[in-house]
A and B are shown apart, each in its own frame.
Chain A
């Protein structure tokens, strides 16, 4: 089997909504077909597949539905949305090792109309198997039952340490909604907000998160296609290089219920992915023209900015307030509107936007993107031009 560098050659997605009206399997198939069509490939070309441990779709069902001949590679990535970019790492590894020729990565969910993450998990007896969290045993009995509370526990320490308040999150929310306002695919298209809107929204976890600090709940699916660079020459789209992609599971870390690392104000997982990526690629924070940063809550943008070296620890609030994450700032963040503005497809829509930014086809396009960072916490990648 021929080997070579892995590249992203296709992206596809469904509409983003609050009620898709169809099955998660159908959403997965629609997004995969769209991504293959974008690449100029068909299901007959696919021999690899990767998704999240907590995606409800089975690979056997998708092979059966799409008419795929055979998968020689199939994997799942843990750590919930934090592991999102791990799908890119797995696809890259499969292609570059020769385990597969064409790998599709996807995430499909009716997260608003069927299984709402933001509702109480008190009756979640299934546990978080494979998701990398300890919330069932060590959080639920104490009434810590939602991602907002799990994350707020860490965020409160951050705010207290640096003398900040919830108002310091407002510019993050305003920025992402401003980006979404000019993105026709975004749920919050043409619906920008003000700092006052943010501050007037109701408390979700006091005194840390208000409603407008939280990502949306969404139905939808996004997929990408990875193959090797030589193969990409014959395909429809200019390929996007995966300079490197990595996962991170640091000592004593957990997904969202991350209480046991020595310093909860330091985004240990993001620090780890940045270290790996910068060592492997030789690229540093000054070399990115755009950053797609996983925003389950506004605080995450602060954590990513600091962990990846865009600013120093404790300086993210000032950095954001001074406009550095805007389209004309030093590091434009999530020009699709991110999870707060576009949709919450669990990180996969951030990967797709990273690809568009490198291609130069995004709605809110940043000029001359040579390198894009896509970071989800426990996984991250450097995308770039071939």
Chain B
């Protein structure tokens, strides 16, 4: 199983002035998205203004944490000893319309399908940090 729970994995970054909110949220196990106050659209990666309506006003809003797998891969070489053997990297399409790179856990590679429903959870890292992870939803497991 590619269950990424190692406390050896590196602590996430603090982020930039524009992205610190995201990592602060992850640190307390809340997945936050940057939502434009003007046109309500979400955006990722974070940036200081909305590329659609050009508003600099935005809020960090808790996301549903649900989404689907856009694509995935199993890194083999070079090995990264701080990550569990067999871990998967996946690109997740979140319900709010943004895309986020993460790890896909609690599933064998042969069972992964693009488009399958996943949900967020948080794993511990070195230095007492947290990192956002995804796993199949109950529905997807039954599916």
Question: CB within 8 Å of B: which residues of A?
Answer: 118-120, 122, 134, 136-146, 148-149, 152-154, 156-157, 160, 202-208, 211, 251, 259-260, 264
Contacts and interface: CB of A to CB of B under 8 A. Distances in A.
Interface of B: 9-10, 12-13, 15-16, 19, 44-45, 51, 70-78, 80, 82-83, 87, 89, 91, 99-103, 109, 114, 125, 131
B22 to A, nearest CB: 9
21 contacts: A118-B78, A119-B78, A137-B45, A138-B45, A141-B12, A142-B103, A142-B131, A143-B89, A153-B72, A153-B101, A154-B71, A160-B114, A202-B76, A204-B76, A205-B73, A207-B73, A208-B73, A259-B99, A260-B44, A260-B99, A264-B91
A214 to B, nearest CB: 10
A298 to B, nearest CB: 15
Contacts of A202: 76-77
Contacts of A206: 73-74, 76, 109
B10 A140 contact: yes
Contact of A120 (B12, B45, B78, B114): B78
A141 B131 contact: yes
Given A205-B74, A206-B76, A260 B114 contact: no
A122 B89 contact: no
Contacts of A208: 73
B103 A143 contact: yes
A145 B72 CA distance: 14
Nearest to B103: A142
B10 A122 contact: yes
A136 B114 CA distance: 25
Interface centre among B9, B15, B45, B82 (most CB of A within 10 A): B45
A145 B87 CA distance: 13
Nearest to B44: A260
A142 B15 contact: no
Contacts of B99: 259-260
A143 to B, nearest CB: 4
A92 B35 CA distance: 42
A149 B87 CA distance: 12
A8 B37 CA distance: 51
A57 to B, nearest CB: 27
Contacts of B75: 143-146, 148-149, 205
Contact of B13 (A141, A144, A157, A207): A141
Ranked nearest first, the 4 interchain pairs of A and B with the lowest CB-CB distance are A157-B71, A152-B73, A143-B83, A206-B74
A136 B12 CA distance: 10
B77 A144 contact: no
Contacts of A139: 101
Contact of B77 (A136, A138, A204, A259): A204
A208 B76 CA distance: 11
B128 to A, nearest CB: 15
Contacts of A143: 9, 75, 80, 82-83, 87, 89, 103
B76 A205 contact: yes
B103 to A, nearest CB: 5
User: Quick one: which of B10, B71, B83 has the most chain A CB within 10 A?
Assistant: B71
A120 B10 CA distance: 13
A165 B74 CA distance: 15
A136 B19 CA distance: 13
Contact of A142 (B16, B19, B102): B102
Contacts of B13: 136-137, 141
B76 A153 contact: no
